[in-house]
Amino acid sequence: MCNLYSMTATVDEMRRMFGGFDGDTANLPPFDEPYPGYMAPVLRRNESGGLKLEMMKWGFPGPQSAGSRPVTNVRNLNSPFWRNALSNPERRCIVPATSFCEWTADLDPETKRKAKVWFGMAEEHPPLFAFAGIWRPGDGGPFMAFLTCEANEMVGAVHPKAMPVMLRPDDTKRWLDSAHADACALAQPFEDRSMRRIG
C-alpha cells in the first residue's frame, strides 16, 4: 500500500506531459511528501470534456463498517465500494507524481524503524508520470484515491504486496474516457526497465 509520494513538477511540466487544462494554473509549490489527508493536485475531466486542475484531499471517507477511516488505495476493483466511481468516467482522475515511496518490511538495525525506499521513472524518461485515480465530492472534499496492483519485480523486492497503477501520458486518455473494463485493464504492474530505485 502506497501512503507517501512526491509531486514536484511545475504547471508547465504538467501541461507538456498531459496537455492543456483549466483551473488554478498558477505555479504550484513542490509537494515533497504528501501523506494521506493532505491536499494534492489532481487532473480530472471538466464539464466540456477538457482537463481541470484541482486540489483534492488524499483519502476517500471510508465505509462506516470500517470505522470511516479514509481509504487511500483502491486494490479490489470489484468491490461495491468502488463500483460507482470506477464505472463512471466523470469520477476518474489522474494524480500527477514524480516519485513514490514504499517502506521496508524489516526494521533498520540502527534506527529501529522501517526505512523509506523511493521509486521513480528511469533516468532516460521525464520524471513526471501519473497514478490512475478516482475522486468524489463531499463535505470537506473533494477527495481522491488511486489504484494499486500487483508489484513489479523492482517494487516487490521492497513491498511485495502492491504498487500504484502508474500511467504513461498515452494511457491517461484511456483511463479517463474508456468503458469500465477497458480502463480497469490498465491496472497492471509498470515495467521494471522504465523505473529506477531512487533511494
pLDDT of residue 65: 64
Angular region, 149: left φ>0, alpha ψ -120 to 50, beta rest: beta
Q: Which residues pair with 58 in a beta bridge?
A: 144
Contact 183, 89 (CB under 8 A): yes
Instruction: Report the chain's mean pLDDT, rounded to a whole number.
Output: 90
Torsion of CA 31, 36, 47, 49, to 10 degrees: 70
Residue 84 pLDDT > 90? no
Q: What is the pTM of this model?
A: 0.92
